[in-house]
Amino acid sequence: METKKHSSHSRPVLSQAQNNTTLWIGHLKPHAHDHLAGQTFICPSEGLVNNIQVFASAVTQPGEVALTLHEFDAATKTWGPAIGNSSRNVDKKDGTNWIRFEMEPVNLQKDSTYGFRLQTENGIIGIGEAASGNRHPFTFGHAWNGHGNNDKGEYFRYFSLAFKVELCA
């Protein structure tokens, strides 16, 4: 009889790796405000999330990128307070690579909706994004972009950031 050991390794539970366009975050001139990006998702299983990864398609200005994780009310499109966060420096060599945001484990519930937001005050980072055909919207969530933490922003069901959500096993 074989006994399986329990481990604290994480496993991907939701992944959208397609990347055919770019959503920029940071202070893009001549605009007077910062651009933020985000993604909502329905969690497919219960567990502790310990990292979220996004694909950086380009880094034109290195800087610190912050990720915040939120409960999300899909009916009212309202972000709850941050339940997790992480930040890391991103530099030019990170372009065309997956950027991993490690965080203290946060319990996620199956079939609940969550979202994460990305922002940088001093960088200009291109986040990989997928645009789907007009007959095939993404069913697990919506891409979001806005201009500041208090901005309601806009949601797009035919777009999705390139991202991975991993839960501890």
| Domains of the chain: residue spans and CATH | 12-168 (2.60.120.820)
Rg, the chain, Cα only: 16
How far, in whole angstroms, is CA 120 from its chain's centroid?
Answer: 13
Closest-CA residue to 99 (of 59, 54, 45): 54
Contact 166, 53 (CB under 8 A): yes
| Residue 101: HSE in the Cβ half-sphere, 13 Å Cα cutoff | 25
Per-residue pLDDT tens listing for the chain (169 residues): 333 333 457 788 899 999 999 999 998 777 778 899 999 999 999 999 999 999 999 999 999 999 999 999 999 999 999 999 999 999 999 999 999 999 999 999 999 999 999 999 999 999 999 998 777 789 999 999 998 766 789 999 999 999 999 998 5
| Residue 123: HSE in the Cβ half-sphere, 13 Å Cα cutoff | 26
Entry pTM? 0.90
